[in-house]
Amino acid sequence: MAEKIEITDEMQAAVGIESDPWPYEVTTTSVRAFARGVGYTDRVYFDVKAARAAGYRSLPCPPTYLGTPVFIPGESNDTFSGPRNSGPGVKHGLKNVLDGGTETEYLADICAGDTLTVTSKVADLAIRESKTTGQMLIVTNETTFTNQDGVVVAKQRGQGLFY
């Protein structure tokens, strides 16, 4: 069981601070590879003519795919390709983590050829009691995806459970 967890002023200070923007690319290859990898067979994810006939500008992003972060040597996280430093973060010292889930709200189409700008922030901190792990720190992050025309096309809200 985890020791007693306390949300410090330093941790609370990270809430609401937006990260620097980071570019994500959506390519025909990445859309096709993702759709194939998760087993989608709808031709709109593979054939530009079928996508256009269905009303899309190009191949649409399949559900849960929001582009690929651009990898920049020396600036990118070696594991996830996004920015190495994406904001102040929450320094909690807890060693264990569980994925608390992610919800995505789609606000407009995302299609191959789009370049997205992505920012994220810690939206909330909470402490909850678990029967198996004891206290957990729940860190809620919000991520905003904006396309090349300045339109917010998606928002994600995800939680990490630390104990």
Q: According to the model, what pLDDT value does residue 121 have? A: 95
Give the CA distances from residue 31 to residues 41, 56, 58, 60, in Å, rounded to whole numbers and listed in that order. Answer: 12, 13, 10, 7
Q: Residue 143's closest CA among 124, 127, 110, 120?
A: 120
Structural domain spans, the chain: 9-25+72-162
Q: According to the model, what pLDDT value does residue 82 have? A: 79
Architecture category of domain 9-25+72-162 in CATH: Roll (3.10)
Q: According to the model, what pLDDT value does residue 123 have? A: 97
Q: Report the chain (163 residues): mean pLDDT per 10 consecutive residues.
A: 83 94 97 98 98 98 96 87 76 93 97 97 95 93 98 98 95
pTM of the model: 0.90
Q: Is 37 left (phi over 0), alpha (psi -120 to 50) or beta?
A: alpha
